[in-house]
Structure 1
């Protein structure tokens, strides 16, 4: 949300009076209020339609924070489904720790494994 303090509002009001003049300012304010009200109605209607289309399982859907909405409705259920898989993989991870330590702590006198040759897909003799 936009946060204005008193000095910013006064500067905007003075600029509006200078630019539009005191006789056109009330009409401009009414038109601005109508546009803001129209846009607010469109947004509320879109939210209502979205809630209606999504159904009752998303009745508590909050559309103000998209990140929280995605986390709550998509990531949290996925995390719950992945918990059994994580619990199965934890013992395997413990078994692989010595292998990982052996690979990372390989003595420097051992040569690195030879990289696989890259196939040449063109004629190197051609010009």
Structure 2
């Protein structure tokens, strides 16, 4: 019930209780709180027991649809469609998934991504002995 409360929150609550209630009345307040929580648990358990006894087999009939709903709650949309509409055969969905582009194929706006630019051509070293940009000319 209180699994999300950490040690730091517990310490803050104890300090707040000491300030608000006072150190002399804190043990009595803690006892009263613990007894109240136990009574609420007992009342809830007794109510369930009385329902099971009074309603009997009808109570179990009510639990079956609830159990089915809990099973459905854990299912994904794909498994629900596969189970109820496609009778467990998900080959159609696999074929559709194979035809759809993946996230890597799309840009941010959902359009097909442009093809990657080709790698630049390798620069060939000059074949002449003249400095770069100069032409070899024979003026003889």
| TM-score when normalising by structure 2 | 0.41
Structure (1 or 2) with the greater helix fraction: 1
| TM-score when normalising by structure 1 | 0.45
Which one scores higher on RCO, CA 8 angstroms, separation ≥ 6?
A: 1
